A and B are shown apart, each in its own frame.
Chain A
Amino acid sequence: MINILEVNETNKMIEQERLDVRTITLGISLLDCCDADLDALNRNIYEKITRLARDLVSTGREIEIEYGIPIVNKRISVTPIALVGGRACRSPEDFVEVAKTLDRAARDTGVNFLGGYSAIVSKGMTPTEEALIRSIPAALASTERVCSSVNIGSTKTGINMDAVKLMGEIVRETAEATKEHNSIGCTKLVVLCNAPDDNPFMAGAFHGVSEADAVINVGVSGPGVIKHALEGARGENFEVLCETVKKTAFKVTRAGQLVAQEASERLGIPFGIVDLSLAPTPSVGDSVAGILEEMGLESAGAPGTTAALALLTDQVKKGGIMASSFVGGLSGAFIPVSEDQGMIDAVNRGALTIEKLEAMTCVCSVGLDMIAIPGNTPASTISGIIADEAAIGMINQKTTAVRLIPVIGKDVGETVEFGGLLGHAPIQQINRFGCADFINRGGRIPAPIHSFKN
């Protein structure tokens, strides 16, 4: 039987160490909504989302109350819209109408974000996929809750450099289209390599074509819990350090698995996966950088940071794998800058540069995330950063992503405030040397060899 010490430990994690379930994300297939008529397509999409997600927010709230654990976000992911809108949308403007429908469905079901305004163009682009991509700036400027992602490469296909070039321009256009609001559109746009079909986290969530009609995916969190556990292991060797992370990750994930199963049962929708991710928030004590510093680094970004992050990510997976029957999504540790007070502090004290962040993305769960850069950064430079990140993902068979915010009208030394979970960020210095001739070549980078690994 459970004892008072165990009960107190769990409640202390929740009340003092910010243990929460970061998101319940309902994945919905929209493939059966396809229609040649745009109005019919919009009607079908709105009807299916609002029907399946009608009770999502209230069910999440019920589980929160009964188990006493916060569930921070309730969200929806849908089939990449480039596939769904293929027949009805003949121009970027048509796709923007679909984005508005998604936004209305998100608002009416009460979710804070809906992901899947996406295209998967890892090898090539169809005309409709290109139209969707070209519609992204207007779509993100005219909606509030829609998130967009574009997968531009994979280990199996190589990197679609035409799409990389285009996405550099689209990121810039999105920044321009939302410049009145600190270029906030770019916080809802992510460029991926090796994107998973079942990711519950925004902005990169979409409901892949390999998925069932509807599925519940859950993202756990808990940087504060891991940091607190490590405070009890100060001065111990790496074996003790790793075991501490692993055991704590197990406990955190079990809470996520429970919430996932309950949500699945109550909504009558199959359980998909638990995503074992340490997702920070701007709140004090909920920081991945804080964990790295607790391990013994003077600041995140100091030499040793990549090793510390590698062991953290690996131990989180090792502990979490046994705690959940199905693991998927991104699973690891997120290192967004603006959403992690410890990372912001590290950038401000000059300890953490974009180049070090790039090295860290080789071992974290995603990539260059929520990094504010000067508003006058050329599109080709953004494409170059996307290509670098995609290359890391392609060669290392992992998901990588880029979510950069070129803040129009701001430069290094200034800060930008996005508000809420999106946080605030200092504008970071990026390499000023150009790569336009490289990006302008066009075509594809071939898939990498799978042997001779050195």
Chain B
Amino acid sequence: MSKTIITVVGKDAVGIIAKVCTYLADNQVNVEDISQTIVQGYFNMMMIVDTSRSSKPYAEMVTELDDLGDAIGVRIRCQREDIFTKMHRI
């Protein structure tokens, strides 16, 4: 199964990574890579994760991460990696 890209964008605050990672750990999602920057106080993170061991239906995870983002004041998107690789790699 292809990898998943999780992006987190929003105003920087304490514990954003911790909260996202806790959710992923609770759902058996393995984080393979994280890159993160802060530009003018805005937090911008991308994670490459493997969801193959998670029993959670994909759509449910997308919704729950979206809700988690709302709760901590950031935008969290969870998308299959193919949409990016198809667009940016020949």
With most chain B CB atoms within 10 A of its CB, the pick from A7, A65, A251 is A7
* Contact flag A10-B83 (CB < 8 Å), given A2-B88, A66-B62: yes
A160 to B11, CA, bound (A): 64
Number of residues on chain B facing chain A (CB within 8 A): 24
Chain B residue at smallest Cβ distance from A65:
B59
Residues on B with beta carbons closer than 8 Å to the beta carbon of A67: 79-80, 82-83
A93 to B22, CA, bound (A): 64
A109 to B2, CA, bound (A): 30
Contact residue among A4, A62, A251 (Cβ-Cβ distance under 8 Å from B87): A251
Q: Which stretch, A236-244, A254-262, A355-363, touches the partner chain B?
A: A254-262
The A-B contact count (CB < 8 A) is 63
Contact, CB under 8 Å: A7 / B59: no
A444 to B58, CA, bound (A): 58
A66 to B33, CA, bound (A): 20
Contact residue among B35, B62, B79, B85 (Cβ-Cβ distance under 8 Å from A4): B35
Contact residue among A1, A11, A66, A257 (Cβ-Cβ distance under 8 Å from B58): A66
Contact, CB under 8 Å: B35 / A6: no
* Least distance between A253 CB and chain B CB atoms (Å): 9
Interface size class of A (residues with CB under 8 A): 20 to 34
A67 to B35, CA, bound (A): 20
Contact, CB under 8 Å: B79 / A68: yes
Chain A residue at smallest Cβ distance from B88:
A6
Contact, CB under 8 Å: A4 / B58: no
A255 to B88, CA, bound (A): 10
Complex interface residues of chain A between 8 and 22 (CB less than 8 A to chain B): 8-11
Show 7 residue pairs from A and B whose CB-CB distance is below 8 angstroms, ordered by the A residue. Answer: A2-B89, A7-B5, A7-B84, A10-B87, A65-B59, A67-B83, A68-B78
- B positions within 8 Å CB-CB of A: 5, 7, 33, 35, 37, 44, 46, 48, 58-59, 62, 77-89
